């Protein structure tokens, strides 16, 4: 979603802001802008569309300013037009503001400001901020720190989840930034300071970073960075050193980040095995402290969105089948406003690769709050499964499992999904070991199977990518797809359909294979391909029968099936083969050809695979 970059230092700010915004492009946006302070004036340039449009407008207009703010906007209030793009300025054009998130009480503030004669040029919620700062500055000029104080008093009037960065032509050596439930990280260079919505924008410049907490603001000046809380108290905080390798955010020769990230999955699975599997008598170490946190759990509820919700459905299967714990998976956005009745001794798991998804964060906060008034056995026990340390979820939950996938730039989640699945395998096995629902021997067998997964993924990538690329040619004009699966592979059918619609804009539906005859079968004809996941196991024959039903309606049948499965060879028009693993482990493999299929269909259609239209990597509004 929206991305913020701010710079104060000795280099020309515009170039740094633009390259920072480029590194935030993956978050999703539809307009962009920058504002710098130079020769006592704000220089603001905005453009609808992608960053190259902004770059074109900046040609010849660039200033040598060494302070500025930049923004990529994902439209919420007001269409993606230039007049709604950030930065937004006050009427005297002395103050410029960029904002991420939503100001919920902007309508009241707007009316109040209009009553005082302020004119609005956009439909955004953001525009109230520069007017409010300007209004307060006019009244409090006498204060010691007028600009800082005016921003602080403005923030006190804002409701919602937001991060902002502000510059003012009257205070040309100050950049002020603040965070309230929207991500913002500060960077410390040699005589220069940065802020950004994501570390990716800071990596080329510095490894010394500090994540602002909710309710904190920072003032950058040439003399240093000062941190305050919203009450105005100065805070003492020390930056930490980031151990990221800048190369990890490059494409490394791949045509798209998504393809690179699909290829990184064997390494991601290996890293997770190294992180969570031990050679000791107790083979899994989740690093949950205190370990009793996982004792006495009677129910599990999982809150997530999108692909993370699909991973959670696989998780439910594992937690119920391996550890015998009744598990309920909810869309976070639904749970937030219609929560289930409270059950005692419940583990609540929030799953989010970004750690910032507003729906998931809000649902977890609600759950924590409503349980805080209850007796001990109803108190919230919160576990977060995330790929981003320092993200909002890590501050909210009691325990965290990191998914160790490395930064994912492609908007379509691939390697982080695989990594989330790994977390659920480890969690389910750990709970099974504690509750003795599986023997040690079975746990070791499953772990041995997990250790084979990286090479099995490598085989799919090596042997099949070319075939899948060729197959994708047939679907350039296809308008509808159906994906079917059962049991533990039903969520993979959902994920296959989501991947395809996200990046190729082809309408796709995922169904439990047995449900097709209860309605969706009416959609089938020669123009609607059906992809069936048919791995050996308890419901294999049933899936094959469901696939036959589709074939009888002339649908082109593609099967994700085990290598050398003769029955599948007779059933399907085209097979995407994977190793014949135990059904329990199969989602880790069956999702791979589906990721490749959607990637190649989208690439073949010439679409922007890494930044599909209307989508954001990190969805920070509810």
Using CB under 6 A as the criterion, which residues of the chain lie in contact with ligand AGP when the complex forms? 305-308, 352-354, 357, 360, 411-413, 502, 615, 619
Question: Residue 168, SS3?
Answer: strand
For 456-580, where are the E strands, in sequence order? 480-485, 507-512, 530-534, 557-562, 574-578
Looking at beta carbons only, is 97 or 305 nearer to ligand AGP? Answer: 305
Question: Residue 355, SS3?
Answer: coil
Q: Are the C-beta atoms of 67 and 13 separated by less than 8 Å?
A: yes
Looking at beta carbons only, is 177 or 352 nearer to ligand AGP? Answer: 352
Q: How far is the CB of 59 from ligand AGP (least distance, A)?
A: 33
Q: How far is the CB of 423 from ligand AGP (least distance, A)?
A: 12
**Residue of 251, 253, 261, 370 whose CA lies nearest to 307:** 261
Q: How far is the CB of 619 from ligand AGP (least distance, A)?
A: 5
Question: Is 574 known to be catalytic?
Answer: no
**Residue of 309, 300, 537 whose CA lies nearest to 432:** 300
Nearest residue (beta carbon) to ligand AGP:
306
Dist CA 549 CA 346 (whole Å): 41
Looking at beta carbons only, is 305 or 524 nearer to ligand AGP? Answer: 305
Q: How far is the CB of 118 from ligand AGP (least distance, A)?
A: 36
For 84-181, where are the E strands, in sequence order? 88-89, 95-103, 160-168, 175-180
Looking at beta carbons only, is 103 or 419 nearer to ligand AGP? Answer: 419
Catalytic residue among 2, 168, 195, 305: 2
Catalytic residue among 316, 415, 499, 617: 617
Instruction: Give the C-alpha distances (Å, rounded to integers) separating 78 from 120, 126, 342, 396.
Output: 13, 11, 39, 31
Q: How far is the CB of 364 from ligand AGP (least distance, A)?
A: 11
Strands 216-221, 208-211: pairing kind: unpaired
Cα Rg of the chain, angstroms: 26
Dist CA 531 CA 367 (whole Å): 38
Q: How far is the CB of 593 from ligand AGP (least distance, A)?
A: 17
Dist CA 223 CA 172 (whole Å): 13
Looking at beta carbons only, is 66 or 333 nearer to ligand AGP? Answer: 333
Dist CA 291 CA 314 (whole Å): 24
Q: Angle formed by the axes of helices 106-115 and 128-139, to 10°?
A: 50
Looking at beta carbons only, is 306 or 485 nearer to ligand AGP? Answer: 306
Looking at beta carbons only, is 264 or 502 nearer to ligand AGP? Answer: 502
Q: How far is the CB of 254 from ligand AGP (least distance, A)?
A: 18
Dist CA 57 CA 34 (whole Å): 11
Looking at beta carbons only, is 346 or 360 nearer to ligand AGP? Answer: 360
DSSP assignment of 395-435:
HHSSEEEE-------SSS-SHHHHHHHHHHHHHHHHHHHHH
Q: How far is the CB of 384 from ligand AGP (least distance, A)?
A: 11
Strand partners of residue 346? 299
Question: Is 501 known to be catalytic?
Answer: no
Residues in the chain: 622
What amino acid positions are annotated as catalytic residues? Answer: 2, 617
């Amino acid at each position: 979603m929206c991305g913020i970059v701010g710079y104060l230092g000795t280099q020309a700010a515009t170039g740094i802001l633009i390259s920072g915004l480029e590194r935030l492009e993956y978050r999703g946006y539809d307009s962009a802008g920058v504002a710098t302070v130079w020769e006592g004036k704000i220089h603001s340039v905005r453009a609808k569309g992608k960053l190259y449009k902004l770059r074109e407008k900046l040609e010849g207009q660039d200033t040598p300013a060494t302070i500025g703010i930049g923004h990529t906007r994902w439209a919420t209030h007001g269409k993606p037009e230039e007049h709604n793009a950030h930065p937004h300025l006050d009427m005297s054009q002395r103050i410029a503001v960029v904002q991420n998130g939503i100001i919920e009480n902007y309508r009241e503030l707007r009316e109040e400001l209009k009553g005082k004669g302020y004119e609005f040029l956009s439909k955004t919620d953001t525009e109230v901020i520069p007017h409010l700062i300007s209004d307060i500055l006019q009244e409090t000029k006498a204060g010691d720190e007028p600009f800082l104080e005016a921003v602080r008093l403005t923030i006190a009037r804002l409701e919602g989840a937001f991060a902002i960065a502000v510059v003012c032509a009257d205070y040309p050596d100050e950049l002020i930034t603040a965070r309230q439930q929207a991500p913002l990280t500060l960077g410390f260079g040699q005589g220069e300071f940065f802020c950004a919505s994501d570390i990716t924008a800071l990596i080329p410049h510095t490894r010394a970073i500090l994540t602002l907490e909710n309710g904190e603001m920072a003032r950058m000046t040439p003399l240093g960075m000062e941190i305050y809380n919203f009450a105005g108290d100065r805070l003492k905080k020390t930056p930490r050193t980031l151990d990221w390798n800048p190369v990890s955010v490059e494409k490394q020769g791949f045509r798209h980040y998504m393809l690179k990230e699909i290829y990184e999955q064997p390494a991601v699975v290996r890293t997770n095995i190294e992180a969570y599997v031990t050679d000791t008598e107790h083979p899994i170490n989740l690093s949950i402290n205190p370990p009793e946190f996982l004792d006495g759990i009677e129910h599990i509820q999982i809150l997530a969105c999108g692909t993370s919700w699909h991973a959670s459905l696989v998780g439910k299967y594992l937690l119920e089948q391996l550890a015998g714990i009744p598990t309920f998976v909810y869309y976070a956005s639904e749970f937030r406003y219609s929560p289930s009745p409270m059950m005692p001794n419940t583990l609540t798991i929030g799953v989010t690769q970004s750690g910032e998804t507003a729906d998931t964060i809000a649902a977890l906060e609600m759950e924590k709050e409503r349980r805080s008034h209850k007796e001990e056995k109803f108190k919230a026990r919160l576990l977060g499964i995330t790929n981003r340390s320092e993200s909002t979820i890590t501050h909210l939950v009691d325990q965290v499992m990191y998914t160790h996938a490395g930064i994912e730039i492609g908007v379509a989640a691939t390697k982080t999904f695989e990594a989330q699945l790994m977390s659920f395998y480890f969690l389910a096995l750990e709970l099974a070991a504690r509750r003795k629902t599986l023997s040690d021997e079975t746990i070791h067998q499953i772990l041995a199977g997990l250790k084979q997964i990286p090479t099995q993924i490598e085989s799919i990538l090596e042997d099949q990518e070319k075939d899948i690329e060729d197959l994708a040619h047939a679907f350039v004009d296809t308008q509808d797809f159906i994906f079917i699966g059962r049991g533990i592979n039903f969520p993979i059918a959902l994920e296959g359909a989501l991947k395809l619609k996200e990046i190729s804009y082809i309408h796709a539906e995922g169904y439990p294979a047995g449900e097709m005859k209860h309605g969706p079968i009416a959609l089938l004809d020669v123009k609607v391909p059906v992809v069936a996941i048919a791995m050996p196991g308890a419901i294999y024959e049933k899936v094959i029968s469901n696939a036959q039903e589709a074939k009888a309606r002339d649908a082109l049948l593609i099967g994700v099936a085990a290598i050398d499965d003769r029955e599948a060879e007779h059933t399907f028009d085209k097979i995407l083969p994977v190793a014949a693993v135990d059904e329990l482990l199969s989602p880790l493999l069956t999702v791979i050809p589906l990721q490749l299929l959607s990637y190649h269909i989208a690439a073949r259609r010439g679409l922007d695979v890494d930044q599909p239209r209307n989508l954001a990597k990190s969805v920070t509004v509810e």
